[in-house]
A and B are shown apart, each in its own frame.
Chain A
Amino acid sequence: MSGSTLGNWLQTRWQSIVAGIPFIWLLVFFLVPFFIVLKISLAESLIASPPFSKLLDWGDGGLPSLNISIDNYAYLWEDSLYVRTYLNSIKIALICTVLCLLIGYPMAYAIVRSQGTTRYILLLLIILPFWTSFLLRVYAWMGLLADQGTLNSFLMWLGVIEKPIRLLYSQFAVYVGIVYSYLPFMILPLYANMEKLDTSLQEAAADLGAKPVAGFFTVTLPLTAPGILAGSLLVFIPATGEFVIPDLLGGGNVLMIGRILFNEFNSNHDWPVASAVAIALLIVLVVPMMLYHKVQAAEARRES
């Protein structure tokens, strides 16, 4: 790199501003808060304001004593409700990721293969729900799945069922809601990946006599693996901690960790337990999150 690049100039003169301001912002409002959560998760809950004990206690003689308690974590581990909820959240998120992939992959593939303006319009139709309110799109399913809702009325009109079946406030409703809400997050990275795909490889496979199915599994699928990974992580990670969908569509019947955390904090006012729930969720998600970070970094390197 020559000495006169903008990068070098920025580095020497303006580094403190260009990188410094956003860096400090993220440090204060993103990183530090996690340490506060970690700290409070190690405290004991009290009926006071704030409702937790101090970690560092300056005793009467001026000697500091450290009060670290792992009771909150022990409580999470011993109460089978929490363990079951974590497992259930992961199970729901995994199944939804697979469903998103099964629906999203052929859609992304079909969009990439369409030409010119059609492609842009189809892409716009995928992005459009992404810009409209998440909450309202979940609400739309409440109307469809309600006991007197559109789906039940339709099935009764068809004669498939005689009286309304319970669709809303069930595990099924949560699956539908998550797949519906996160589908664009699966399609967009897949599309971005397939767009750059070299079609000559697929053609070569076909010319050499590979059957379409064989060609797909040996050529197309491995080439689109980075897109599959990025899309799956973008669905799986937020879906595991989802709060709105299990709350509105699952009612009280579906246990998911995001809901437990929200309730623990807002209804029970148990901050230390809520903090421990958050830290435990972070530990569950740290591997997929680092994987996502790696995928992103690789993508950024390839582009530049």
Chain B
Amino acid sequence: MKAKRSRFLLGMLCFGFAFLYVPIILMMIYSFNYSKLVPVWGGFSTRWYTTLFQSEDVWAATALSLKIALLNATFATLLGTLAGIALSRIHSFRGRTLFTGMISAPLVMPEVITGLSLLLLFITLNQLIGWPAERGITTITIAHITFSMAFVAIIIQSRLAGTSRDLEEAALDLGAKPFRVLWDITLPQLAPGMVAGWLLAFTLSLDDLVIASFVSGPGATTLPMLIYSRIRLGLRPDINALATIIILTVTIGVLIAGWIMIRQQRASAQDAEHS
């Protein structure tokens, strides 16, 4: 009976992973297809990579997306960390219920609603105070910070919930200044959460199409917007090449991060054994 059940689980696991990975792998394989018709194999070639590297649009969109992602990740980490600390260490302040609501809502809010509402805000502000004069990198970055900081806040909050308050309290009882406690004890405990939050905010920004499409103006095209405008009408071999590059880069990054994580896990497990 037990063997039967684990065989079922193993089967579901294989099916699930095949479902998740076969489409991506096929997309990568077809990026090396000579034929212009994506799904018809016409021999091995790297010509679409050459086309891609020669496309100035792609370079410009990549540069814009990376710039927004960097700005977004940095500001979202700062704001999200503050929000996370507030949520887990300050137990009552005015508007706390509203605050927790505003933190958890962006996680599930349909992107079309967030995008539309931010665009209408920017237009209203422009009419009232003349800012933002034009929509582009600034408005996209602000929009991205708004939804990314919620993800960072959740990570920080769960990280802080898992750490003990004993050290903080001991240091305070021994006469350490509160700011020093925050700097020397709380922040180092938060550091891994902040790194994870920064990386997540960076990826969320690079990934966003819908919100950026709403709040962007003419002349500011992010990489997802460029990809979308090209694939709307069908398959494009150069996009397969671009997808391959993006996915390989991300995969290598995640694997390195995962490897570090597993090593740390082992190290702390060993520490626990020794002590």
Contacts and interface: CB of A to CB of B under 8 A. Distances in A.
Given A19-B86, A22-B79, A149-B39, A183 B149 contact: no
A25 B79 contact: yes
A31 B265 CA distance: 40
A31 B118 contact: no
User: Interface on chain A toward B: helix, strand, loop, or mixed SS?
Assistant: helix
Given A26-B146, A107-B13, A292-B108, A9 B178 contact: yes
Contacts of B254: 124, 127-128, 131
Contacts of B255: 124
Given A285-B110, A289-B108, A117 B103 contact: no
Contacts of B106: 30
A143 B240 contact: yes
Interface stretch (B47-55, B129-137, B161-169): B161-169
A234 B265 CA distance: 28
A153 B39 CA distance: 9
A245 to B, nearest CB: 11
Interface string A1-28: 0101111011101010111011101110
Interface stretch (A59-67, A74-82, A235-243): A235-243
Contact of A106 (B12, B27, B149, B235): B12
Interface residues of B, number: 109
A153 to B, nearest CB: 7
Interface string B21-37: 10110110010000001
Interface in A155-200: 180, 183-184
B44 to A, nearest CB: 17
Interface string B45-74: 000000000000000000000000000000
17 contacts: A18-B85, A26-B102, A27-B102, A33-B121, A103-B12, A103-B15, A110-B9, A124-B254, A124-B258, A139-B239, A142-B235, A143-B27, A146-B38, A148-B37, A243-B112, A248-B231, A248-B232
Interface of A: 2, 4-7, 9-11, 13, 15, 17-19, 21-23, 25-27, 29-34, 36-37, 40, 50, 103-104, 106-107, 109-111, 113, 117, 120-122, 124-129, 131-137, 139-144, 146, 148-150, 153, 180, 183-184, 212, 233-234, 237-238, 240-244, 247-248, 258, 261-262, 265-266, 271, 274-275, 278, 281-282, 285, 289, 292-293, 296-297, 300, 303-304
Interface of B: 1, 5-6, 8-10, 12-13, 15-17, 19-21, 23-24, 26-27, 30, 37-40, 79-80, 82-83, 85-93, 95, 98-113, 116-118, 120-121, 123-124, 127, 142-143, 145-146, 149, 153-154, 157-158, 161-162, 165, 168-169, 172-173, 178, 181-182, 186, 203, 206-207, 209-210, 213-214, 224, 227-228, 231-232, 234-235, 239-240, 243, 246-247, 250-251, 253-255, 258, 261-262, 265
